Structure formats: structure tokens, C-alpha cells
């Protein structure tokens, strides 16, 4: 029973880790691109 509890806890932790990685993988490039676009717009407006 303890083994099953540990296994389920590990699976939950693993899923949380994967979701965090996916979220970071999606949001980080978007933030970087947004930052670059802002710099481009500033240069264009000047």
C-alpha cells in the first residue's frame, strides 16, 4: 500500500513537472519574441 502511495505521488510530481516544463517552454519564447518586437517597433517609430 505504501509503495502504491509513493508511486502515485511520484506520478503526480512527474505530471506537475512536465506541465511546468510545457508552460515555461511556451511562455518563455513568447516573452522573448514580444521583447524583440517591442525593440523593433521602437526602432521603426524612431
Q: Name the DSSP class of 4.
A: H
The Cα 32–Cα 10 span in angstroms is 32
pTM of the model: 0.57
Examine the pLDDT at 44 and tell me if it is beyond 90: no
Cell of 27: 511562455
> What are the pLDDT digits (tens) for 27-42?
999 999 999 999 988 8
Amino acid at each position: 500500500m505504501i509503495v502504491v502511495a509513493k508511486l502515485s505521488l511520484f506520478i503526480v510530481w512527474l505530471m506537475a513537472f512536465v506541465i511546468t516544463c510545457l508552460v515555461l517552454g511556451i511562455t518563455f519564447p513568447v516573452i522573448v519574441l514580444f521583447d524583440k518586437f517591442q525593440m523593433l517597433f521602437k526602432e521603426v517609430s524612431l
